[in-house]
Amino acid sequence: MRVNHPTRAKAVLPEGAPLLEIADVRVSYGGIKALKGISMKVMAGEVVAIIGANGAGKTTTLKMLARLLPVDSGTVRFRGEDVRDVPTEEIVARGMSLVPEGRAIFPNLTVRENLELGAYLHRDKVTMAETMADVVELFPRLGERMVQEGGTLSGGEQQMLAIGRAMMARPELLLLDEPSLGIAPKLAAQIFKAIRTIAKSGVTVVVVEQNTRMALGSSERAYVLRTGEVALEGVSAVLAEDPEIQKAYLGG
């Protein structure tokens, strides 16, 4: 997979500065404090996992980043720019793509149309064809299903489509929400392999995952959330050996 060439002129990120930096972010909805001041740093090129139990705030974190949930307080900086008040529609133009939980593909559009919509902000025909070829190389199954409606795909294929669609926007930062949820283990493994390929091509990846073993196995660093707060953070391989983590999340 080719390294992306962003179309929008962006400020050059200074050496050593994090690609994404959130500090003391609080989010609440319906009177419930979902995030109680979390801070994270993601460097360019990293693969970072966010793990934790149900309701710990994992999905909320990603939704907050994609501006689908309003931030009560705290700062969110992407490429050094404050993106706290950027609307969702513009986030993707800044280079951040979210693959939402539950895939959220367009069920009555064909696979090709789904992918094309991923490139909604990059409509140049030549670039689009190139990116689509890359995506098909990544997920050959999508190539076989181009003219099918998205809703007719299996769950695993839909997940591939959702990731492929996000990649069509040539993001610098890919946010993945529960990519293995409800998917047969064999396909889940395939999807995680594809995520590693994407990471190798230079895209920074933040992945939220319930399957802690898989998440720690394919990430470099990880954050453990507990009831809206960062409970632990560190190198994934080290965390995987942590007895507490093993007890709480790895079933042993």
Q: Which residues bind another protein (CB under 8 A)?
A: 29-34, 53-60, 66, 68-69, 88-93, 97-98, 100-109, 113, 116-118, 120-121, 123, 144-145, 148, 151-157, 165-166, 169, 181-184, 186-187, 210, 227-228, 248
H or E stretch covering 215? helix 212-217
In angstroms, give the least distance from the CB of 17 to another protein: 25
Q: What is the DSSP string of 3-20?
A: PP--SS--PPPPTT--SE
In angstroms, give the least distance from the CB of 160 to another protein: 11
Name the burial class of residue 214, with classes exposed (0-12), middle (13-18) and buried (19+) by CB atoms within 10 angstroms of its CB. Answer: buried
Cα distance between residue 65 and residue 40, in whole Å: 12
In angstroms, give the least distance from the CB of 120 to another protein: 5
Nearest residue to 106 via CA among 116, 98, 96:
116
In angstroms, give the least distance from the CB of 107 to another protein: 4
Nearer to another protein, 73 or 120 (CB): 120
Cα distance between residue 222 and residue 233, in whole Å: 6
Q: Are 213 and 250 in contact (CB under 8 A)?
A: yes
Nearer to another protein, 17 or 148 (CB): 148
User: CA triplet 62, 67, 71: central angle to 5 degrees?
Assistant: 90
- Output phi, psi for 42, to 5 deg: -125, 125
In angstroms, give the least distance from the CB of 14 to another protein: 27
Cα distance between residue 173 and residue 243, in whole Å: 31
Nearer to another protein, 55 or 74 (CB): 55
Nearer to another protein, 39 or 148 (CB): 148
Name the burial class of residue 175, with classes exposed (0-12), middle (13-18) and buried (19+) by CB atoms within 10 angstroms of its CB. Answer: buried
In angstroms, give the least distance from the CB of 49 to another protein: 16
In angstroms, give the least distance from the CB of 148 to another protein: 7
Nearer to another protein, 144 or 200 (CB): 144
Cα distance between residue 221 and residue 218, in whole Å: 9
Nearer to another protein, 43 or 248 (CB): 248
Nearest residue to 183 via CA among 198, 161, 216:
161
Nearer to another protein, 10 or 123 (CB): 123
